[in-house]
Amino acid sequence: MTPFFVYNVGYQTQQNTKGKSLLMDNIILYLLNIIQEQYQQICWLILFICRYIPLKQWAFDVSHSPKYQKFRVDQLPKIQIIHHEWDWCLLIPYFEHRYNVKIKPVSRRKECDIPQDCSCPSCSAPQPYLYRNNGKAGQLKCKVCNTNFSPGENRFAKQFTLHCPHCGKALAAKKERKHFILHKCVNPKCPYYLHNLKKVDKADRNEDYGKNKYKLHYIYRQFTIDFFRMELSSLPKNASSLKFSKHNAHVMSLCLTLHINLGLSLRKTRQALKDLYNINISHQQIANYCKTAAICIKPFVDQYPYEKGDVFTADETYIKIRGIKAYIWFIMDAASRSLSWIPHIYGARRWCMHSFDAYGFQTRLQAS
């Protein structure tokens, strides 16, 4: 005969199982209701977008407009290294062995007027293997490597050539500035040029020089100044060199953008780099990067040829030096925003007025 407590335990176990299954059914039903409500909201949003927001304007991205092409930086060009590995002493026996062709010096009908020290810039063949290719026009031709050249030509002195990454044509040096050389792809069939030309307005195409308003060709700026050549002995204390060990130039640019452009403090810049980019960097390292950037920019600021205009603006700030009241004046060109004069003026404001009247400036101060 089965005891009573066995029936009681079995009955309780069965009731617990039914309770758990009922709870899971309620949870699943609750989640299904939430999914249905979200589905209804999504359908309502899609209908609202299709009715009130024209989808055609999404297809046009303003950032790809030809009006903003001047603010975009093109990708790097292809660099082709020029090698002049063959020498005329090796080419002559090579041609004789491979092609059974023996290259002899040029047999001249009259006296040669080519200088004795002239040689081929490609294979270094001496004067006996050179002859004039176009008469007295000045072009010479090498009999060994069939290279056409002119005396004093510097195209063979190039160690590399720059090519367009879109069409592969060599870039032409169009403008030479103080610190960079502007290279441009002048190929009219370049796919980059044709793609940008399609975006230009028809009215500008029909106008004379209307296309010059836009940046259509591939452009590359070759900087002639070495930004990363810095003597470590000339750096001040706590300045960081550009030979990065832990971080890179991208992290340094983020530090300068947040601290200089956005005006954040050093510690807020450190916190922003941690929260936005997950970059761990100390506030002292950010200060070192800023000091290094200031050293790199200082030669440009000091030696830049600012042209002085006719209108100047002046303002003063009050300071104390050893307990004596003084004023520091800043005189700035109104057009170029360049500082023209930063004197330290001690004494009363009346003396400051007389000093500026002597230089011909009109200030907003009134003599006290």
φ and ψ of 79, to 5 deg = -105, 120
Structurally, the chain folds into a number of domains equal to 4
Task: Tell me if 309 sits within 8 A of 300, measured CB to CB.
Answer: no
Task: Tell me whether residue 286 is in a domain.
Answer: yes
Whether residue 127 sits in one domain with residue 152? yes
Higher pLDDT, 131 or 7: 131
In the prediction, which pLDDT does 351 show?
39
Strand order in the sheet with 172-176: 172-176, 180-184, 219-223
Question: In the listed set 129, 157, 185, which residue is the last one of a domain according to the structure?
Answer: 157
Q: Is residue 115 very low, low, confident or very high in pLDDT (cuts 50, 70, 90)?
A: confident
**pLDDT above 90 covers what percent of the chain?**
15
Q: Is residue 9 very low, low, confident or very high in pLDDT (cuts 50, 70, 90)?
A: very low
Whether residue 289 sits in one domain with residue 242? yes
Q: Parallel, antiparallel, or unpaired: how do β-strands 140-142 and 148-149 relate? A: antiparallel
Q: Is residue 305 very low, low, confident or very high in pLDDT (cuts 50, 70, 90)?
A: low
Whether the model pTM is above 0.75: no
Whether residue 90 sits in one domain with residue 145? yes
Whether residue 175 sits in one domain with residue 142? no
In the prediction, which pLDDT does 137 show?
73
Q: Which of 173, 190, 191 is nearest to 182 (CA)?
A: 173
Residue range of the domain that includes 283: 234-303
Task: Tell me whether residue 185 is in a domain.
Answer: yes
Task: Tell me if 130 sits within 8 A of 118, measured CB to CB.
Answer: yes
Question: In the listed set 125, 157, 189, which residue is the last one of a domain according to the structure?
Answer: 157
Helix (H) or strand (E) holding 4: helix 4-52
Question: In the listed set 102, 132, 157, which residue is the last one of a domain according to the structure?
Answer: 157
In the prediction, which pLDDT does 187 show?
93
Task: Tell me whether residue 16 is in a domain.
Answer: no
Measured between its terminal Cα atoms, the distance across the chain in Å is 120
Q: What is the pLDDT of residues 224-264, one digit of tens each?
A: 876 655 554 556 666 666 777 788 888 888 999 999 888 89
Task: Tell me whether residue 348 is in a domain.
Answer: yes
What's the rounded mean pLDDT across residues 330-338?
76
Higher pLDDT, 306 or 96: 96
In the prediction, which pLDDT does 267 show?
93
Whether residue 197 sits in one domain with residue 180? yes
Whether residue 291 sits in one domain with residue 247? yes
Q: What is the pLDDT of residues 188-204, one digit of tens each?
A: 999 999 988 888 888 88
Task: Tell me if 290 sits within 8 A of 260, measured CB to CB.
Answer: yes
Task: Tell me if 125 sits within 8 A of 119, measured CB to CB.
Answer: yes
Task: Tell me whether residue 218 is in a domain.
Answer: yes
Whether residue 296 sits in one domain with residue 244? yes
Task: Tell me whether residue 47 is in a domain.
Answer: no
In the prediction, which pLDDT does 326 show?
77
Task: Tell me whether residue 57 is in a domain.
Answer: no
Q: Which of 146, 54, 59 is nearest to 95 (CA)?
A: 146
- Return the number of other C-beta atoms located less than 10 Å from residue 205's C-beta: 10
Q: What is the pLDDT of residues 312-327, one digit of tens each?
A: 888 887 777 777 777 7
Task: Tell me whether residue 203 is in a domain.
Answer: yes
Whether residue 113 sits in one domain with residue 93? yes
Q: Parallel, antiparallel, or unpaired: how do β-strands 130-132 and 140-142 relate? A: antiparallel
What's the rounded mean pLDDT across residues 135-156?
80
Whether residue 189 sits in one domain with residue 145? no
